[in-house]
Structure 1
Amino acid sequence: MNTKLNKSDWVLIALLYGATLILNAIDYYRSNNKLIEYVVDLPTSSLLSIVLILIFLYFLIPKYLINRRKYASFFFLSLLILTFIGCLDKISGILTSGKSIYNIPNIFLFLQSGLYNATDMIGFPLGVLLIKKFYEGQTQFLKIEKQQKENELKLLRSQIDPHFLFNNLNTLDSLIDTDSEKAKEYINRLSLIYRYLIQTKDSEVMELSKEIQFAENYIFLIKTRFEYDYDFEVIKNVSLKDSFIPTGAIQTLLENVVKHNKPDGQQPIRASITIDENRLTVVNTKSNFKVKNDSLGTGLDNLKTRYQLLSDQEISIINTAHNFKVSIPIIKLSE
């Protein structure tokens, strides 16, 4: 479950706390509270309550429940944080009412009261947000699951695309007459590519090292077919061990470079694949070649959808006048 707050979550929080402020203000009026208690207590309680919600949604729940399932640690940390925030709110109320915090008769009862106060502060809004997140997650999961099935069919069709095979056979036919040694290498690389596609067709993610091996074979086919029209570079800044990406992701990015950029015969299309600690980035120069709108971005859209299912991280796309940059997260599979 993604616990990060979105725009609709903040709207819901604003409505909940807006209603709470009004009800508390009416209660303060009936109790003949001082003006300073309106000005300080109500905003302070709301702010501390929102801080608690953020701590639970961005720290405690993701770190101790979703990722690690450390229930005991979650329980004790929650008690400590709730007690601390609740006591801060109680102290604020004591000071604004004109009393002294040194007159607290029983520290244990005060801490207990702070804990009860904090749970009362966030119980309802946090519960509403978690229910909303749960049902949003279920809806999104069903939507992505349906899209995933469609993507799998599209991916399989792209893997056995007759145009891809036809183009490579034409290239191979010309090589047999002109460079038999290179033709043998071409056949070997092509067979490795198809073997890889068949072996990984049911895998959601694949080791980055194997995807890079696939990319090197794929780049060989592209450079052999187009000669000097495309120039590729692979830059490995970190070890590829224990790193994964969606299966076929690099194929999609390389196809995107070739499909949407036609060289002008003077300067090649230059593309680099850079692997850093957490992301793989493909940057290529752009040509003036225009493509049909219905085909532009389809592969990247499918890749975005797959990342929504596999990770809470997103693809970054930067399109400038001269360069096109796509950066995808590297997935670290936890034990």
Structure 2
Amino acid sequence: MLLLIYYGVSVFMTIYQYVGSESKLLEYLLDIPAFIILDVGMILIFLYWLLPNYIINDKKYIHFAFWAIIFMTLFGYLEDVIGYWSDGRDLSKIKYNLQEVLNYISNTSESIGLPFGLLLAKKYYENQILFGSIKEKQKENELKLLRSQISPHFLFNNLNTLDALIDSDTEKAKEYLNRLSLIYRYLIQTKDAEVMELNEEMNLAENYMFLIKTRFGNDYEFKVIKNVSLEEKFVPTGAIQTLLENVAKHNRAQHGKVIKAEVIIDEDWLTISNTKSMIKTNNDSLGTGLKNLEYRYQLLSDQKPEITDTLNHFSVKIPIIKLSKES
């Protein structure tokens, strides 16, 4: 709509100018559409190629400037050629020198400057509104996540397990209590952190898997595969625990068939996959946890979790976030 308004006014002003200079019909039919097409084409190149590839993602400012100059020169030259041809002038009269190149760059910059600025401003305010909305949802979901992590139900189940272990296996009861206290200590210490180092999150995951295996016996089998170093890699705080919790909450061993789960860590992705049981699950609960992760990744990364749900298997891939030590 912004482009339509701007170029509608531009076309009207150009026609008025052409009428005053008694321009040929061909100039109306060729110059005006060419001017719009070239301008819009240049704006689209900036928005969807130059800015994403050389500024937003990689910060390659020299590359950006180089290609911007090339395209502005080319588009300025094309507009000049079309103007010469529609006016019946000899194309061989077009000059090729540094001053002409500077004129092409200047004319193209002036031509696309206002509409490009309007679109960027519109995009900026839309993103600010989206950012605010995501932030609000994130805080709501983080509160829900924290409540679920320290819920009386979670504590009650673990205390029951601990009570049973005290009579049957004192040493294991001590280890169970130690790991449970480590989990709660970690949750309290990281409650305000948006991301945590992957090795710290995996320590939490190992303790959480121990609780599940101790509580349910041989119903669950966990395997951790580390294909890369965990150094300088991050994930949203509590993300792995959330996914492991879903494995235990929505699957139960049946007829001696163990639920097998794998945590696979690659360079860019962490995958948690598990075999599925045929018991009915609370899909709303599962969806809430994954939606929470998606909202958090919208703020932290340009990638989002990938979910694969088949008849016998369920897996979630979450992007690994890489930050420098200084940040």
Bin for the TM-score computed over the shorter chain: 0.7 to 0.9
For residues 259-294 of structure 1, the C-alpha deviation after alignment (integer angstroms, 9 at most, x for no partner) is 122222332222222222222122222222222354
For residues 297-334 of structure 1, the C-alpha deviation after alignment (integer angstroms, 9 at most, x for no partner) is 11111111111222232222222222222111111225
**Which of 216, 224, 228 is matched with 2:218 structurally?**
228
Equivalent position of 1:309 in the other structure = 299
CA, structure 1 residues 206+82, in 2 after alignment: closer, same or farther (shift >3 Å)? same
Quote the offset at 1:126 in angstroms. Answer: 1.7
Equivalent position of 1:142 in the other structure = 132
CA, structure 1 residues 314+47, in 2 after alignment: closer, same or farther (shift >3 Å)? farther
Aligned pairs for 1:28-177 (under 5 A) are 31-34=23-26, 38=30, 45-46=35-36, 48-58=38-48, 60-61=50-51, 78-94=68-84, 99=89, 101-105=91-95, 107-177=97-167
Structure-1 separation of matches of 2:91 and 2:206: 70
Determine if contact 2:270/2:317 at 8 Å carries over to the other structure.
yes
Quote the offset at 1:21 in angstroms. Answer: 9.9
Quote the offset at 1:146 in angstroms. Answer: 1.9
Equivalent position of 1:271 in the other structure = 261
Quote the offset at 1:204 in angstroms. Answer: 0.8
Quote the offset at 1:144 in angstroms. Answer: 2.0
Q: Secondary structure at the match of 2:230?
A: coil
For residues 14-62 of structure 1, the C-alpha deviation after alignment (integer angstroms, 9 at most, x for no partner) is 8569858976996899633439963xx6666555434433443345545
User: What is the TM-score normalised by the length of structure 2?
Assistant: 0.83
RMSD of aligned alpha carbons: 3.3
Determine if contact 1:24/1:42 at 8 Å carries over to the other structure.
no
User: What is the TM-score normalised by the length of structure 1?
Assistant: 0.81
Determine if contact 2:294/2:304 at 8 Å carries over to the other structure.
yes
Structure-1 separation of matches of 2:36 and 2:271: 42
Segments of structure 1 that go 5 or more residues without pairing to the other structure are 1-11
Equivalent position of 1:219 in the other structure = 209
Determine if contact 2:273/2:316 at 8 Å carries over to the other structure.
yes
Q: Secondary structure at the match of 1:34?
A: helix
Equivalent position of 1:191 in the other structure = 181
Flag the structure with larger Rg: 2
Quote the offset at 1:124 in angstroms. Answer: 3.1
Determine if contact 2:2/2:118 at 8 Å carries over to the other structure.
no
For residues 184-235 of structure 1, the C-alpha deviation after alignment (integer angstroms, 9 at most, x for no partner) is 2222221211111111111111001111111111111111111222222222
Structure-2 separation of matches of 1:330 and 1:48: 40
Amino acid in structure 1 at the alignment position of 2:106: Y
Instruction: Give aligned-pair identity as a percent.
Output: 55
Structure-2 separation of matches of 1:91 and 1:240: 57
Equivalent position of 1:331 in the other structure = 321
Determine if contact 1:104/1:110 at 8 Å carries over to the other structure.
no
Determine if contact 2:276/2:314 at 8 Å carries over to the other structure.
yes
**Which of 225, 239, 248 is matched with 2:238 structurally?**
248
Farther off after superposition, 12-21 or 216-225 = 12-21
Structure-1 separation of matches of 2:12 and 2:227: 58
Amino acid in structure 2 at the alignment position of 1:245: V
Amino acid in structure 2 at the alignment position of 1:138: Q
CA, structure 1 residues 127+305, in 2 after alignment: closer, same or farther (shift >3 Å)? same
Quote the offset at 1:247 in angstroms. Answer: 0.4
CA, structure 1 residues 16+326, in 2 after alignment: closer, same or farther (shift >3 Å)? farther
Structure-2 separation of matches of 1:226 and 1:25: 78
Amino acid in structure 1 at the alignment position of 2:249: K
